[in-house]
Structure 1
């Protein structure tokens, strides 16, 4: 199942920049692993903002939750602003053509 995930760094007053960069380096390595495994379809840093957006291909919401709250190196410093399940548009289009009658 695909999810749109929008996160904001929430570190102000909690850790200094040197500590942030150390954890963010671990996060970058983790991101590469999730991209290589296919769990993360794509990840982007929003220019000029402390914000990251990712498309995640998780088997279910439970696995996404385990990753977000347990596996991410930045988990203590990320605020999840939006987590939206994504539906394939062509599947939606087929339902529209059938008027949602299956």
Structure 2
């Protein structure tokens, strides 16, 4: 497992740290205005998805490995709704260090 503070990309590090802390303000701060996401290949409303899959059910990311300069992760993700599952995450980070899109799904 890779500790969040050891992740290579500082923006992805801030995202994982915000998720694990349940910090909605920090989560929103790391995203661009109009950021988008997909789950298992289907685009979702990011705000609704984050509330349902992260914040209302204690979402937590245990990063197993990273690639693509830290912008692609394999994570053991768990929450109170679904339990634990192995997931893949890929992040698009803008030049100003914010996430404009992320994609997640079963790994």
Tell me whether the two structures share a fold, i.e. TM-score over 0.5.
Answer: no
Greater relative contact order (Cα < 8 A, sep 6+) = 1
TM-score normalised over the length of structure 2:
0.28
Whose Rg is larger?
1
Decide which structure has greater strand share: 2
